[in-house]
Amino acid sequence: MSLLALDGLLVLDKPAGLTSRAAVDRVLRWFPRRTRIGHTGTLDPLATGVLVLCLGSTTRLTEYIQRMSKTYRTGILLGARSDTDDADGTITPVADALAPDVATVTARVAEFIGVIEQVPPAFSAAKVTGQRAYDLARRGEEVTLRPRPVRIHTIEVRRYAYPHLELEVHCGKGTYIRSIARDLGERLGCGALVETLRRTRVGPFTTEAALTLETEAETARARLLPAEMAVAELPRLVLPADDLKRLQQGQRVALAGVPEGMEEPGEMAVFDTMDRLIAVALLDPRDRLLRPVKVLRT
């Protein structure tokens, strides 16, 4: 296999009990030594599901996959709290917790839809004064994290039989499902924590198309996806060869017209006439100028 063939994306169905980093280490066995692989969004050891991996030069596109919306299916335990906000932590039952009815649960769940302010869990990768929150929490230090805005597109009650609640959450970047469970438990007055968590979709990537760690190396190498899928949510622009050459040399390119729907400055995925991803560029619609941000092919 050529080094060029090692550029691309791999969708893994991460099993429970492994960190995302440990899963990447297992995947490295499928490829030649010194292959660069990075994941695009951490899943807790308890969580399973879609973990998108970037190989080779495609690791430069990690941020675009991280921006994509995500869908989770989560099982929540009511009537208890956890120091990690999930079943992997120290669980404390809530004394005299009352079981909320279906109408109350549904109403409280609906309050999370939209842009909300969310405090990450103390045991998380969020940073406090330059340090990971989980490092401080594990040392027994007090962790104070500031709320941050996250977007919840939809949240649906799939099943409820106290103390078990199943939700499906479609959300934006940076959302912690453990924080939703924790905050929902406080609003219901009974406490709550995540029992199970499965990420079923990241942008166009789904569990149905994902590989397991039991996959044979030859099969995994054959299932690499093109780098173009990493920028699937960016507007597309095809440029002629002369303009592409200038863009590849770091020069700005003047456009004859602005693509439809691009009234505000924004990034675009730039392709050649053979439908190959060449670069990501920033469009200034007022001056009709395209500035290279990431050049992938020269």
- The CATH number linked to 30 is 3.30.2350.10
Domain finish residue from 193, 212, 230: 230
What's the count of helices (H) and strands (E) in the chain, helices before strands? 7, 18
Pair 168, 39: CB distance under 8 Å: no
Determine phi and psi for 24, rounding to 5 degrees.
-60, -40
- Give 208's Cβ-side CA count (13 Å radius): 1
Residues whose CB is less than 8 angstroms from the CB of residue 189 and which lie 6 or more positions away in sequence, other chains included: 97, 98, 100
| 215 and 169 assigned to the same domain | no
Low-confidence ranges of the chain (pLDDT < 70): 1-5, 123-144, 298
| 81 and 44 assigned to the same domain | no
| 126 and 29 assigned to the same domain | no
| 90 and 63 assigned to the same domain | no
| 13 and 60 assigned to the same domain | yes
pLDDT number for residue 133: 52
Tens-digit pLDDT profile for residues 163-180: 999 999 999 999 999 999
Domain finish residue from 152, 185, 202: 202
What pTM did the predictor assign? 0.90
What is the number of domains present in the chain? 3
pLDDT number for residue 127: 57
| 54 and 134 assigned to the same domain | no
pLDDT number for residue 263: 83
pLDDT number for residue 105: 98
3-state secondary structure of 4: helix
| 101 and 188 assigned to the same domain | yes
Tens-digit pLDDT profile for residues 240-271: 999 999 999 999 999 888 877 788 899 999 99
| 80 and 134 assigned to the same domain | yes
Range of the domain at 291: 234-295
Tell me the pairing of strands 266-271 and 253-254: unpaired
| 193 and 92 assigned to the same domain | yes
Vertex 154: Cα angle to 148 and 156 (nearest 5)? 120
| 111 and 196 assigned to the same domain | yes
| 221 and 145 assigned to the same domain | no
Active-site pick, 7, 13, 44, 88: 44
Domain finish residue from 156, 183, 202: 202
| 219 and 277 assigned to the same domain | no
Q: Which CATH number belongs to the domain containing residue 271 in this structure?
A: 2.30.130.10
Active site residue 272: no
Vertex 69: Cα angle to 63 and 74 (nearest 5)? 120
pLDDT number for residue 126: 58
